[in-house]
Structure 1
Amino acid sequence: MIPVRGYKDCRVAVLGLGRSGLATARALVAGGATPLCWDDSPEGRARAEGEGFALLDPARPDAWDEIALLVVSPGIPHLYPRPNPVIAAAWEAGVPVDNDIGLFFRSFATPDWDSMDQIPKVVAVTGSNGKSTTSALIHHVLEAEGRATQLAGNIGRGVLDLDPAANGDVVVLELSSYQTDLARALTPDIAVFTNLSPDHLDRHGGLGGYFAAKRRLFTEGGPDRAVIGVDENEGRFLANVLAETPGDDRVIRISTQRKPSGAGWQVVARKGFLSEWRKGRQVASIDLRAVPGLPGEHNHQNACAAYAVARSLGLNPRRIEAAFHSFAGLPHRSQRIGEKDGVVYVNDSKATNADSAAKSLQAFGRIRWIAGGLGKEGGLGPLLPHVGSVAKAYLIGHSARDFALELGADVPHEICETMDVAVARAGAEAEPGDTVLLAPAAASFDQYKDFEMRGADFTARVRSLIDPDAPQG
């Protein structure tokens, strides 16, 4: 646990009592503060009371008396589409609002670091797609190298649940726009921007607000080094803002679409080969085509980002390459489930928007595509240029008929409604060499609690199809 510093003997309100909220309350107690908790759900309040935390009803007239800070969970909107009433009340009372990410950055470093041979570092990864795989890959490379490392944030543990830093520890954080948008302190040593595509636009008041939330990771605290994906205008803009000179190696530009140019530090992946360039010369390369855990161009971009971070931390290119080969990938992210009769089954349930699904469609050959769910603004528009490899689409969920209209006569498709029907139909019609791919291009909330549950359902049905006699569950 990371004890929260700076609020000893203070009363701190905590709004939202899920994983991060309860971890925040515990960390506040460890730092000598008194947390006062609230959640809209009776179940959340009961969990807090079960751990011995006091409740604070924000509707009480005296609720904000002597409150030093309000800490909110990332899922609670603070500005768009409209401020949560509790946050608006804190504004009126002049109470500062923060989240657990801000508290982490204010509390992680301690006087004990003065006696360490190697000062701990924080790597923070943000962007629209690839954050989780990039973060997990960095963590895996460091573990393979024998470095002390912890993984947290939007993946794995909550940030305040981390262990206090050890000598030379590297903390890798995956940070969503919900987390970077509100944090009052953002001071990573290395910050990564993977890419940008439209997502969460209602929460951020449009694409500009969404990018601004991501950009805060780089502009609020000023990382020592920034790894920037430059395949979109927003990334090129950000790299240009951060670099002082054309050859400023505090900025590492990564790309899967652009040839290396100029004197700066660049890591690019083209036609399956990753190459590192410095001062206009290639200094290292890796053949990514033989890395089973990183299929497709989108994963090659993730590899570029992880490679750049590892090189920034002083790791040797050949040792990074060896670690790539032992990376198994993450569940629900281009996860190979199995093969039967020459047909491969892949779970990319995390492809919850059209842009990420488009990247998945480009990673494989002839595809039997399972798509649908709760469609997002813009529908399938960004991926329609990439459906040439789709032999047939099997559409499920709330948006099945809307997706069918968008695909039209160009892509054979069938409305299956549910996962069991889609898997059965795709499996029955697939031919040797085909890939049955779950890449929904939609949220899961119409039929599932989250994308993990959707991916788990797909996985269970595929395994039953591959081996009907195997025990399920």
Structure 2
Amino acid sequence: MVVVGFGVTGQSVAALLLGAGDSVTVVDDRPSDAARAAADALGLSIVSSPAEDELAGVVTGAAMVVPSPGVPAGHPVFALAAAAGVPVRSEIELAWARLQARPAPRPILVAITGTNGKTTVTTLATAILAASGLRAVAGGNIGVPLVDAVDADVDVVVAEVSSFQLQHTEGWHPAVSCWLNLSEDHLDWHPDMAHYAAAKARIWRRQGPGDTAVINADDPAVMAAAEEIPAGVERVTFGAADGAMWRDLGPDRDGRAVLRDPGGRDLLDGGRLPRALPHDRSNALAAAAVATAAGATAAGVAAGLTGAALLPHRVELVAERDGIRWYDDSKATTPASVLAATAGMESVVLIAGGRNKGLDLTPLRATVPPVHAVVAIGEAAAEVADALAGVADVRVADDMASAVTTAAALAHPGDAVVLSPGCASFDWYTSYAARGDDFAGRVRAHLGMTAEAEGRPAGAPPASTPGGPIPETDLTLAADPIPMEEPR
């Protein structure tokens, strides 16, 4: 067996294969010290930065190649495996097989994919299941490798899965699947949108009678793909569209989300979502539908949705001063994410840009209104400026500090200043979380907020250190993709 990439996922896969008595070879272009230490602990050595002929020798004759999620699509290991007739399988495929090998009764496997919202829906669904009295664990791209999560003594395993992982599955068969949405993303990995969509559709390809597929009725691409769901699978829809089974009726006069189950009952039982922007309501419906299909109760749905904390860097309120609100939406790494973040706002100064992932940024024009001014940052600053030229006041900033001061000058009382980049962070930062933390720290510094006002001990350092752009991190297949950068 050949494990390619020796980050957290690769290490778990290697341990699994060794435990099954398999011979394991690890390939990692530039392994970290932590990866080397992990290999030593498993009694393995790492083939580091192999020449193509050396890599061919490693792959040829192997029983299987298991790439970590972040291995670039252009890495020669894929072509070499294809030429040698060696199957390539993802970690989630191994996890599924491991789950099937467990004696009955085994946990129900739930899988969630989509361009945006996977982590939120996975977290919410897990909370709903727990509030329903079921033992549930989240795994996959949300943090715990799925090969580890499926060993837990639980009733339900909720897996966040990416297109990269789904691409290399064959027998993968969750009992409950959910495809949240599809928009242009990762065209630096997938050759085109058709390839990207086909990878996503593998989430329900092997489902059959007794299984459930949860489908976004508001997304035409997902609804079209759902036509290929195998016969006998129960189809459950959610959204604001007429006919959706789990229905978003919008906010009421008091700003409460009005969400109804297939029986027309109020999901929230008089409570409120922590936030009720359009994408929040959609995520809540998806989580409720998924969790209910896995055994959640109505009371558990209400408790899980109203009691869940908002995840960081997803339209997260950083500060409010002089009638201006500042939001960190650094997780938004596609134009579709930016549209979702700004859709429920009245007037916005947008900070956007970073490293483009091969996407068309012209859809950002559709953010106007509510966006009236834009601060363009990062490698893609010129592309952002071109995309919004003529429809908004666009300025370019050379670093996050100047982006914050420029946005402050453009904002008026009643505005929201939103860092919603629409691009990856790897030009200036190591992850979208680092970018969001830097933004938040600079906002607080600009507003003169003290440590006590931020909820930090007196004398504690701010969330980030002021300064210029952080040098580009040399990201390779050596580690799994930084999980926080992944809206796959």
Taking structure 2 as the reference length, what is the TM-score of the superposition? 0.83
Cα displacement (A) at 1:221: 4.1
Number of matched pairs? 442
Corresponding position: 1:442 with 2:423:
yes
Contact map agreement 2:6 2:31 (CA 8 A) in 1 = no
Give 1:174's aligned residue.
Answer: 160
Cα-Cα RMSD: 2.6
Give 1:405's aligned residue.
Answer: 386
Corresponding position: 1:14 with 2:7:
no
Cα displacement (A) at 1:36: 1.2
Give 1:26's aligned residue.
Answer: 15
C-alpha distance in 1 between matches for 2:242 and 2:431: 38
C-alpha distance in 1 between matches for 2:220 and 2:371: 29
Q: Closer, same or farther in 2 for the Cα pair 1:29/1:401, shift >3 Å? A: same
Corresponding position: 1:50 with 2:40:
yes
Give 1:69's aligned residue.
Answer: 64
- Out of 84, 97, 104, the residue aligned to residue 106 of structure 1 is 97
SS at structure 2 position matched to 1:220: coil
SS at structure 1 position matched to 2:143: coil
SS at structure 2 position matched to 1:392: strand
Aligned residue identity for 2:181:
N
Q: Which range is displaced more, 347-356 or 55-64?
A: 55-64
The one of the two structures with greater contact order (alpha-carbon pairs below 8 A, sep at least 6) is 2
C-alpha distance in 2 between matches for 1:21 and 1:230: 36
Cα displacement (A) at 1:366: 1.8
C-alpha distance in 1 between matches for 2:291 and 2:129: 8
Q: Closer, same or farther in 2 for the Cα pair 1:129/1:163, shift >3 Å? A: closer
Cα displacement (A) at 1:289: 9.5
Give 1:9's aligned residue.
Answer: none
Corresponding position: 1:231 with 2:218:
yes
Q: Closer, same or farther in 2 for the Cα pair 1:32/1:433, shift >3 Å? A: same
Contact map agreement 1:295 1:334 (CA 8 A) in 2 = no
C-alpha distance in 1 between matches for 2:343 and 2:60: 56
Q: Closer, same or farther in 2 for the Cα pair 1:411/1:468, shift >3 Å? A: same
Deviations 1:64-93 (A, max 9, x none): 565322111122245xxx4x3223222333
- Out of 353, 357, 379, the residue aligned to residue 372 of structure 1 is 353
C-alpha distance in 2 between matches for 1:290 and 1:134: 17
Contact map agreement 1:189 1:224 (CA 8 A) in 2 = yes
Give 1:214's aligned residue.
Answer: 200
Contact map agreement 1:35 1:54 (CA 8 A) in 2 = no
Q: Which range is displaced more, 187-196 or 49-58?
A: 49-58
Corresponding position: 1:269 with 2:227:
no
C-alpha distance in 1 between matches for 2:233 and 2:69: 33
Cα displacement (A) at 1:24: 0.9
Cα displacement (A) at 1:167: 4.8
C-alpha distance in 2 between matches for 1:355 and 1:62: 43
Deviations 1:35-56 (A, max 9, x none): 1111111537734543321345
Give 1:8's aligned residue.
Answer: none
- Out of 183, 192, 206, the residue aligned to residue 197 of structure 1 is 183
Cα displacement (A) at 1:126: 0.5
SS at structure 1 position matched to 2:112: strand
Please list every run of 5 or more consecutive structure 2 residues that lacks an aligned counterpart in the other structure: 252-256, 452-459, 464-488
Contact map agreement 1:108 1:165 (CA 8 A) in 2 = no
Contact map agreement 1:404 1:413 (CA 8 A) in 2 = yes
SS at structure 2 position matched to 1:306: helix
Contact map agreement 1:21 1:73 (CA 8 A) in 2 = yes
Cα displacement (A) at 1:105: 0.4
Aligned residue identity for 1:211:
A
Identity of aligned residues (%): 32
- Out of 421, 425, 434, the residue aligned to residue 402 of structure 2 is 421
SS at structure 1 position matched to 2:137: strand
C-alpha distance in 2 between matches for 1:65 and 1:398: 39
SS at structure 1 position matched to 2:26: strand
Give 2:476's aligned residue.
Answer: none
Contact map agreement 1:373 1:396 (CA 8 A) in 2 = yes
Aligned residue identity for 1:282:
G
C-alpha distance in 2 between matches for 1:468 and 1:121: 47
Contact map agreement 1:372 1:399 (CA 8 A) in 2 = yes
Deviations 1:215-264 (A, max 9, x none): 011113448101011223322223333375xxx881111123x1226xxx
SS at structure 1 position matched to 2:109: strand
Give 1:151's aligned residue.
Answer: 138
Deviations 1:84-119 (A, max 9, x none): 322322233332221211100010234433xx4xx4
C-alpha distance in 2 between matches for 1:243 and 1:63: 38
Please list every run of 5 or more consecutive structure 1 residues that lacks an aligned counterpart in the other structure: 1-11
C-alpha distance in 1 between matches for 2:317 and 2:97: 40
Cα displacement (A) at 1:285: 4.4
- Out of 236, 241, 247, the residue aligned to residue 252 of structure 1 is 236
Contact map agreement 2:339 2:367 (CA 8 A) in 1 = yes
Give 1:89's aligned residue.
Answer: 80
C-alpha distance in 1 between matches for 2:297 and 2:132: 10
C-alpha distance in 2 between matches for 1:380 and 1:429: 22
C-alpha distance in 2 between matches for 1:249 and 1:221: 7
Q: Closer, same or farther in 2 for the Cα pair 1:342/1:131, shift >3 Å? A: same
C-alpha distance in 2 between matches for 1:144 and 1:283: 18
